[in-house]
Structure 1
Amino acid sequence: MDISTPPTRTEMEDSLVTDMKNIMTRQEQLKKKMAKIKAARSARTARLKPIYRTVMEMVAFYFDQPYSFVEEGILDTDQHVDLLESFFSVGGCKAIVFNETKNIPPEFPRICSSRMIVTDCKEETISGVSVLVYRPSENINATEEICYSMIIVDEETKTAVGGLHLLLSLVSQPHISQTSVWGDLNKTIAGQQHKKEFLDELAGQLNFLKSTKIALDGTVSFESNPEMLDKLTTQDFLEHSTSKTTLNNVERTVRTWMKQIIRVLKHSENLRSEKPDTPPEAELDHWRKLLVQFTSIVEHNRTKECTTFISFLLQGHSKLFKKWQALDNWVTCCTYESQDNVKYLYALQKYWLPLYKMEPLDMANYLPSLMYAIRMVYATSRFLNTTEKITTLLVKVTNQMLNSCLVYLTDNNSKTIWVQKKSDAIKKMNVCLNLYNNYRQVYQDTKDKIVDAEDEA
């Protein structure tokens, strides 16, 4: 139809009739679809046995939701009812998880609402509050032998270490720190010292769990291509190696991996932005985090998928193969450095721990052994034997002594020196100055010994 010519009455009527027919057709299709969904939902409802409903009622109680909310979500798909049937079948699954998540109801595909799902967690990833339902025995008809447990999965608890740290830091440590019931420990000086050592150990364990959680959160996750892997693991490997399409698809996946690896490598070489009072424990945490990242990369590079893809690049004479080799060698070197540094810093840890636990008056006794240990690291380590690396470590050791002196001068940050007795403040300052003089003397003696020993210079 020419747009310059206005439509005739007949053409307008024909167009209107066509539109009405299309609308009616869509409505009929929608009615049939809704009827089909309703029939499927009714069929699933008929499959719900009384024992299933008992479990769903308990789940509704745990979620503080009406029973209808749980049932509506379970009836959304056949897989949900299949799992319930498997749970109550001999030889079926022994544990299922109910999770409230954002999902699309079959009746309203354009609306995303909160729905209840049930899963065995083999494919689905759950988050937030969930209810674990499990049966420790094979008695499938006894509801009293079914156990329920509420679990929370979020960024803080997505690993076992994160969950343990959250539990200890929010529940155990506050109650232990605030309790006044220590029995005979409060009656003697030795007992009070044991109590202090215990609290210090607990705080140290919490810090360790926290740093471990942070390190594990940095694990590198790589994109997977199972369809391509299945294609390459067939007997037609050599035939696929001549296919440009297959080679391009493999190269695309490998390039994605390389970008992730390069990002980690570049980040590890960047200058760190640290606070001026950063202690030596932060140096250990830094290298532990890098070790976890590089180890996850090495483990990925050894997987069947990765080795198959790289072998395919070699077979297909891809230019990307040499770049991958260079990158793999770079990762290997960084992994060795991280392993070596973590090993030596762990060896040093027991020598710098007194700087965290002792008062400045007692620290001087531990300085000679600490400096000797640092000297041995400087002499034997493959990567911490540079002036830059050892200076960074010494600065952080000094920072911890300053932090401890500040806590000592201010009575654990509870009062400034201006509100203390003049004599007490001066006495504490002299203790800190004596620590400084001892530290400087031990440091100078260690430098002289390094100069005198030609094999350590």
Structure 2
Amino acid sequence: MEDGDSGSQTSNIKEEFAKERIRDRKPKSRAISVTQSKLNLRAQMKLLEEDRQDRESQIGSVHRYILDSAALLLGVTVDELVEGIIDSDSYIETFNTLFQPGGRCVGIIHYQMGDAPDLWTGRYNPTLPKGTKIKSAAFSSGDSLALTDMGVLAYRLNAKKPIETKNVADDIYVQAIFASPPEKTVCDTIVRLLETSIVPAIHGQSDWGELNKTEPGHFKRNQFLDKFDRFIHYMKEIRNNVDARVTFHVDDELFQNYLHSPAAAKQALSQVDVYKAIHSQVRQWIRQMNHVIVERNQLRREDDSFGPFKELDYWRRELAKFESVIEQIKSKKCHMYIFYVMASKCDLGKV
């Protein structure tokens, strides 16, 4: 029995010793795993840095001509713009199509706040806190990236021939553009671009070639300028019509949290802060609608130059106002706000 006990004790000691060795080994294996992951990250970053260098090598003289002009308009250095544009293959590819025959006619150089460069850009900085924002450059076609600050519009009038070093200065045009403030619209941005760039260029043109040599040529030139001026007037009227539209402010966060469904709206009836916020917004909508009605009923005073075209412009603006009110009242968000007000059974619901 004693031999059996001693054998059992020896077995237990061996098991404990084995467990200790396993426990000692585990931290080491974790340390090795962490070290290995760091080595993998460094190796991956090195490969991505090489990809970045390859993208930078694609920035040629035609790219730099445009970037030089853009840097001057934006008040930054060319290197700052290059640093951002070589972050992505898509930026380079989009940029290149501006020079190809049959390629795109317009591109935008953005310079605005955005997320700090990620791993795939080749300039990832792991020491930056998560959510860090930096100002950087990008190149887009205008539909893949929103313009939130300032940028430069690069465009050409003839997409059939390639853009090369010898003709880039003659065939590529650049124009500084800025994101409109929240109260402004895309129409306003387009009109300002026309007024500051295109209109002076057209009316300042004196060399009309063969059109200047004959009477029919003079007629065609004047006919073109007349149509051009009408187009500018039409664009200004569109801007005025859009600006005349009534916009109801809607708190999206309030809607998502409390008004996304009738059940959620009913549950929020007992919350005083929500009640006050919703009623305040609906009261503001009522004031806006009353203002439109009062403005419409006011006596119009027009000068002697007021003709049929101005009359049409006036009624287009009036139509834009009333249509904008109706469109918003029909929207789901407005319906839910009104549903809440009616469910609260307050005096505002009787208005």
User: TM-score of the superposition, structure 2-length normalised?
Assistant: 0.51
> Secondary structure at 1:317's aligned position in 2?
coil
Q: CA RMSD in A?
A: 4.8
> Secondary structure at 2:210's aligned position in 1?
coil
1:152 equivalent among 131, 152, 177: 177
2:79 aligned with 1:50: no
1:130 equivalent among 143, 152, 168: 152
2:77 equivalent among 58, 66, 77: 66
Would the alpha carbon gap of residues 132 and 175 (structure 1) be closer, same or farther in structure 2, given more than 3 Å must change? closer
2:201 equivalent among 171, 177, 182: 171
Q: What count of residue pairs does the alignment treat as equivalent?
A: 239
> Secondary structure at 1:301's aligned position in 2?
helix
Higher helix share: 1
Residue 130 (structure 1) shift: 3.3
Match of 1:99 in 2: 111
Would the alpha carbon gap of residues 281 and 164 (structure 1) be closer, same or farther in structure 2, given more than 3 Å must change? farther
Give the whole-Å Cα distance in 1 for the aligned partners of 2:314 and 2:91.
49
Residue 67 (structure 1) shift: 4.1
Q: Is the 8 A contact 1:97 1:119 kept in 2?
A: yes
Percent identity of the aligned residues? 16
Would the alpha carbon gap of residues 97 and 202 (structure 1) be closer, same or farther in structure 2, given more than 3 Å must change? closer
Aligned pairs for 1:192-271 (under 5 A) are 199-230=225-256, 231-234=258-261, 235-271=263-299
Would the alpha carbon gap of residues 71 and 262 (structure 1) be closer, same or farther in structure 2, given more than 3 Å must change? farther
Residue 55 (structure 1) shift: 8.3
Residue 197 (structure 1) shift: 5.3
Residue 251 (structure 1) shift: 0.9
Give the whole-Å Cα distance in 1 for the aligned partners of 2:223 and 2:230.
10
- Matched letter for residue 209 of structure 1: M
Give the whole-Å Cα distance in 2 for the aligned partners of 1:168 and 1:232.
47
Give the whole-Å Cα distance in 2 for the aligned partners of 1:239 and 1:96.
47
Q: Is the 8 A contact 2:81 2:138 kept in 1?
A: no
User: TM-score of the superposition, structure 1-length normalised?
Assistant: 0.41
Q: Is the 8 A contact 2:211 2:220 kept in 1?
A: no
Would the alpha carbon gap of residues 210 and 247 (structure 1) be closer, same or farther in structure 2, given more than 3 Å must change? same
Q: Is the 8 A contact 1:100 1:116 kept in 2?
A: yes
2:229 aligned with 1:186: no
Would the alpha carbon gap of residues 50 and 239 (structure 1) be closer, same or farther in structure 2, given more than 3 Å must change? same
Give the whole-Å Cα distance in 2 for the aligned partners of 1:267 and 1:287.
13
Q: Is the 8 A contact 2:71 2:78 kept in 1?
A: no
Match of 1:412 in 2: none
Give the whole-Å Cα distance in 2 for the aligned partners of 1:165 and 1:247.
46
Aligned pairs for 1:408-419 (under 5 A) are none
Give the whole-Å Cα distance in 2 for the aligned partners of 1:97 and 1:309.
41
Aligned pairs for 1:363-374 (under 5 A) are none
- Matched letter for residue 225 of structure 1: D
> Secondary structure at 1:277's aligned position in 2?
coil
Residue 300 (structure 1) shift: 1.8
Give the whole-Å Cα distance in 2 for the aligned partners of 1:85 and 1:122.
13
- Matched letter for residue 213 of structure 1: R
Would the alpha carbon gap of residues 154 and 285 (structure 1) be closer, same or farther in structure 2, given more than 3 Å must change? farther
- Matched letter for residue 98 of structure 1: H
Can you give the 5+ residue segments of structure 2 that lack an aligned partner in the other structure?
Answer: 1-44, 98-106, 114-133, 156-171
Residue 165 (structure 1) shift: 4.8
> Secondary structure at 1:223's aligned position in 2?
coil
Would the alpha carbon gap of residues 165 and 246 (structure 1) be closer, same or farther in structure 2, given more than 3 Å must change? same
Would the alpha carbon gap of residues 287 and 127 (structure 1) be closer, same or farther in structure 2, given more than 3 Å must change? farther
Q: Is the 8 A contact 2:81 2:136 kept in 1?
A: yes
- Matched letter for residue 242 of structure 2: L
Give the whole-Å Cα distance in 2 for the aligned partners of 1:209 and 1:276.
24
Can you give the 5+ residue segments of structure 1 that lack an aligned partner in the other structure?
Answer: 1-44, 75-79, 102-113, 134-146, 324-457
Comparing 167-176 and 301-310, the one that deviates more: 167-176
Residue 316 (structure 1) shift: 1.9
Give the whole-Å Cα distance in 1 for the aligned partners of 2:250 and 2:112.
27
> Secondary structure at 1:262's aligned position in 2?
helix
Give the whole-Å Cα distance in 1 for the aligned partners of 2:274 and 2:320.
33
